[in-house]
Amino acid sequence: MQISQQRLHKLEIRKLKNIKDLCISFEMKNITGILGPNGYGKSTILHALACCFQPPNEDQENYKFSNFFLPNPDALWEGSELTLFHTYRQASQLHENVEQPYGKSSDRWKPIYRRRPTRNVHYFGVDSCVPLIEAEKRNVKINYSTSNVSEDIITTILEKASYCLNKQYTAYNLHDSGRGRKFIGVEANGIRYSALSMSAGEQKIFLLLERVFRAIKYSLILIDELDLLLHDSAMKNLIKVISDRAQSHNLQVVFTTHRESIIELSNLINIRHIFGTSEKTFCFNETKPDAINRLTGTQPRLIEVFVEDDVAVAIIKKIAGQLGISRHVSIQRFGAAINCFTVLAGLLLRGESCENSIFVLDGDVYKTKEEQEKCLKAVLTGDDEKAKLLRQSSLEKIKCLNIPENIKPEKYIHSIIINLKEIIDNEGNEIIGVAKEIVAVDNSHKYVDDIISRLDWDRGAGLSKIIDLVSSTQDWANYVANVKDWLTSQIPLVQEVTSQEV
């Protein structure tokens, strides 16, 4: 009976190669990009998917577990176990969310190959990217006959290749060198050349496009290392082309990549980031900063906080640390409080969205929205609707620390400390004792500066210890409430979610 309308939902792997207890979902979009460091099982997932189906016709490639998991003295693959979840229509009957288990408990994989579900599967491995000239073993002149291919689908492929590579292709040829050896060729800018002269990336684009555009509806296409040999812009253009084709022909495409820039296309593709420990393999459904760090070795900081001085820096670091997001927070200083409005306006006028940014005032000046709006109006001028909206959005970016009226920030910190009774921590008690010795100063900054000086501490370390002590008091929650609430709202931006949690 005819099988159609196949849809892959998810794959659960209890054990396969180095993958342990993995659940990866392919829902939402037709294309799924799998990212992750080397050695965590990205290619293994593609290999497993290729082997989960049998082809509908004998003349099509029949991928078997032994093709990818060849038994050897170090790996017999016994104990391998995985489950496929998929939907398909058989004649008029729809079979939804069918579970199909696979595994190897002895010398054979189960189920037997002819009992696997049916689907057209096209696997495009890394070996498919080897430039033809490097695969050619002869070192003498190569003769071949040329025939032009002019079917409608080839015209479409030429158009899409032109878009991907920003190069005008006008013809597609088939070259025959005899003894069954055939390969493609193209014409561009009036020059005809074969795959023997193509760049590796150019050859890959044409091979992939032909595979994708010749695939029948509901096919599953698996591409290992999609980014390999491709410039970033060519790769992104290729994904856009594949996305359109997948949408119109109900194709599902799963590919692996190391290119973190792929997240810019998350509106078109599912992002799945693979990472493993010795006990478990995780699949995160979005590539958040921690995932990018694992890919690139650098830690992006998506949350940006602008403050007046180094005391405020220590306060923000403490709040972020308490929320467990310190590694995601970048802290910049703008100096005097009045500079807050100039810097904020400058960023917005330059086109920065500041969507994940706030500007924190110490709380002694410009506390009210009226005062803040007046300052913003001086740097964001105009009475038109656009100017008003810009000022309104700017106001939402300004947060104040909560301190009593007519008191300076350092004086307030000092007052919290001297009101503390003796605590268990000796270092904290010493800070309290020194603070109580400071009764009057000629500059409010000295309420904090003198504590650090008398204890002979490095300023950064001293501020951190003082703020640690203040954060242990009942006053802390109200003092930092506005900033903490905003930072808490940003946690979903940087918190990874696994397939199991969806």
What would the 3-class secondary structure string for 459-470 be? HHHHHHHHHHHH
Q: Does one domain contain both 274 and 138?
A: no
pLDDT for 346: 84
Q: What is the DSSP letter of 72?
A: B
Q: Measured in whole angstroms, how far is the alpha carbon of residue 401 from the centre of its chain?
A: 33
Q: Does one domain contain both 8 and 90?
A: yes
- In degrees rounded to 5, what are phi and psi of residue 181? -85, 110
Q: Is the dihedral of CA 27, 55, 80, 71 positive or negative?
A: negative
User: Could you tell me the pLDDT band of residue 138, with boundaries at 50, 70 and 90?
Assistant: low
Average pLDDT of every residue of the chain:
90
What burial class does residue 52 get, using C-beta atoms within 10 Å of its C-beta: 0-12 exposed, 13-18 middle, 19+ buried?
A: buried
Instruction: Characterize the bridge pairing of strands 3-16 and 19-25.
Output: antiparallel
Closest CA to 230 of 173, 156, 161: 161
Residues 478, 402: contact at Cβ < 8 Å?
Answer: yes
Residues 196, 136: contact at Cβ < 8 Å?
Answer: yes
pLDDT for 335: 87
Q: Does one domain contain both 345 and 230?
A: no
Using a pLDDT cut of 90, give the percent of the chain over it.
Answer: 64
Q: In this structure, is residue 205 part of a structural domain? A: no
Q: In this structure, is residue 220 part of a structural domain? A: yes
User: Could you tell me the pLDDT band of residue 74, with boundaries at 50, 70 and 90?
Assistant: confident
Q: What is the pLDDT of residues 191-239, one digit of tens each?
A: 999 888 888 899 999 999 999 999 999 999 999 999 998 999 999 999 9
Integer Cα distance of 105 and 81 in angstroms: 9
Q: What is the pLDDT of residues 155-173, one digit of tens each?
A: 999 999 999 999 999 999 9
Q: Does one domain contain both 176 and 156?
A: yes
Q: Does one domain contain both 123 and 21?
A: yes
User: Could you tell me the pLDDT band of residue 136, with boundaries at 50, 70 and 90?
Assistant: low
Of the three residues 252, 268, 296, the one that is the final residue of a domain is: 296
Closest CA to 381 of 365, 368, 369, 394: 394
Structure tokens at 358: 């706030």
Q: How many residues does the chain have?
A: 502
What burial class does residue 468 get, using C-beta atoms within 10 Å of its C-beta: 0-12 exposed, 13-18 middle, 19+ buried?
A: middle
Collapse the DSSP code of 448 into the 3-class scheme (helix H, G, I; strand E, B; otherwise coil) and give the result.
Answer: helix
What would the 3-class secondary structure string for 224-236 be? CCCCCCCCHHHHH
Q: In this structure, is residue 498 part of a structural domain? A: no
Instruction: Characterize the bridge pairing of strands 329-333 and 303-307.
Output: parallel
Integer Cα distance of 38 and 40 in angstroms: 6
Kindly write down the DSSP assignment for every residue of 145-166, as one continuous string: EEEEE--HHHHHHHHHHHHHHT
On the question of pLDDT at 176 being above 70, the answer is yes
Q: Does one domain contain both 184 and 332?
A: no
Q: In this structure, is residue 56 part of a structural domain? A: yes
221 against 342, higher pLDDT:
221
Integer Cα distance of 444 and 349 in angstroms: 35
Of the three residues 236, 271, 296, the one that is the final residue of a domain is: 296
Q: Does one domain contain both 103 and 220?
A: yes
Structural domain boundaries, residue 168 = 132-198
pLDDT for 387: 84
Mean pLDDT, residues 244-265: 92
Distance between terminal CA atoms of the chain? 35
Q: In this structure, is residue 203 part of a structural domain? A: no
pLDDT for 262: 87
Q: Does one domain contain both 351 and 436?
A: yes
Count of domains in the chain?
A: 3
pLDDT for 135: 61
**Contacts (Cβ under 8 Å, ≥6 apart) of 387:** 380, 381
Q: What is the pLDDT of residues 275-307, one digit of tens each?
A: 887 788 888 886 666 666 665 666 668 899 999
Q: Does one domain contain both 285 and 413?
A: no
On the question of pLDDT at 443 being above 80, the answer is yes
Mean pLDDT, residues 381-391: 87
Q: In this structure, is residue 500 part of a structural domain? A: no
On the question of pLDDT at 185 being above 70, the answer is yes
User: Assign residue 187 a region: left if phi > 0, alpha if psi is -120 to 50, beta otherwise?
Assistant: beta
Q: Does one domain contain both 223 and 365?
A: no
Residues 263, 189: contact at Cβ < 8 Å?
Answer: no
Q: In this structure, is residue 47 part of a structural domain? A: yes
pLDDT for 298: 64
Residues 235, 226: contact at Cβ < 8 Å?
Answer: yes
Q: Does one domain contain both 72 and 179?
A: no
Q: What is the pLDDT of residues 356-365, one digit of tens each?
A: 999 999 999 9
The CATH number covering residue 52 comes to: 3.40.50.300
Q: Does one domain contain both 141 and 23?
A: no
On the question of pLDDT at 329 being above 90, the answer is yes
484 against 443, higher pLDDT:
484
Q: In this structure, is residue 77 part of a structural domain? A: yes
Sheet-wide strand order for 80-90: 19-25, 3-16, 80-90, 93-104, 109-110
Integer Cα distance of 159 and 252 in angstroms: 22
Residue 436 belongs to what H/E stretch? Answer: helix 426-437
Of the three residues 198, 227, 245, the one that is the final residue of a domain is: 198
pLDDT for 178: 79
Closest CA to 398 of 429, 439, 368: 368
pLDDT for 309: 92
Closest CA to 12 of 45, 36, 53: 45
